Amino acid sequence: MFIIVFAYGPTDSYIYYVAVLAAGVIVGLSTLPLAGLRTPLVALFVVVAVLSSTGPIRTARKLWRDTAISTNTAGFYARPAWTQEWSNILDLAASKRLMMLSYAGGIHHFFPRVQTADTWFLQPAQVFDADKQRLLLKMRDQEIIVQDLSGPTDYVDNDPEIQQRLASMCLVQSNRQLQNLAGTRSDFQAEMRSKWASPCQQPEINSIAAK
């Protein structure tokens, strides 16, 4: 229950869910009163665990093959297409007031130019009133807001004040996998045409916008 309530994350969270489940099973087997059953049951569990992990192992191998480290990803592994998009965001953050709306708030520690919410998570029941007020103040001060769509977006999608702020902005570019980007008609028309070749549109839910 602790993991479900407090440690929920994106779909790849299975990485640590499996470890927690395995630890629980091992503890349970180690406390069996019949010592003679422990070894065969542990061996059976290991066989089942290995057979059930072939899918994640193949996925991990594919990720290892298709991702690479870059200075623009702070040493983390990422796909080249994602790295290119993120590099564009970092370029904008060098000269614009840019904020990232993501369910996890640690991005600022690795990329100081990118502003984030002053809270660890943007998740329902995990954001206090003071956190929300700081978030809204920061949003009002930004020229560009980027929303991360790779993780849970429930809090941003269902908060009327946040949605009102995003709806007042201009959708510039949308990527269903990770982020959308938007800017104002007056400030970013030339930049929109040269960088994204996209007209200014009204953003919808799950979009990013700019002041």
**Domain identity same for 153 and 175:** yes
| Residue of 4 and 121 predicted with greater confidence | 121
Phi first, then psi: what are they for 192, rounded to 5°?
A: -60, -45
| Residue of 185 and 13 predicted with greater confidence | 13
Domain that holds residue 134: 80-195
- Give the Cα separation of 104 and 192 in Å (integer): 28
Q: In the prediction, which pLDDT does 174 show?
A: 65
Taking residues 180-197, report their average pLDDT.
51
Domain total for the chain?
2
Taking residues 10-37, report their average pLDDT.
75
**Domain identity same for 140 and 165:** yes
What global pTM score does this model have? 0.63
Q: In the prediction, which pLDDT does 210 show?
A: 41
**Domain identity same for 57 and 96:** no
Q: In the prediction, which pLDDT does 169 show?
A: 76
Last residue of a domain, one of 66, 101, 116: 66
- Give the Cα separation of 123 and 119 in Å (integer): 10
- Winning range, highest mean pLDDT, from 6-20, 130-144, 188-202: 130-144
Q: Is residue 53 part of a domain?
A: yes
Give yes or no for residue 197 having a pLDDT over 70: no
43-52 pLDDT per residue, tens: 888 888 778 7
Confidence of residue 206 (pLDDT cuts 50, 70, 90): very low
**Domain identity same for 62 and 85:** no
* CA gyration radius, the chain: 22
**Domain identity same for 98 and 56:** no
Q: In the prediction, which pLDDT does 181 show?
A: 52
Q: In the prediction, which pLDDT does 209 show?
A: 41
Give yes or no for residue 200 having a pLDDT over 60: no
Q: In the prediction, which pLDDT does 15 show?
A: 67
Taking residues 134-154, report their average pLDDT.
85
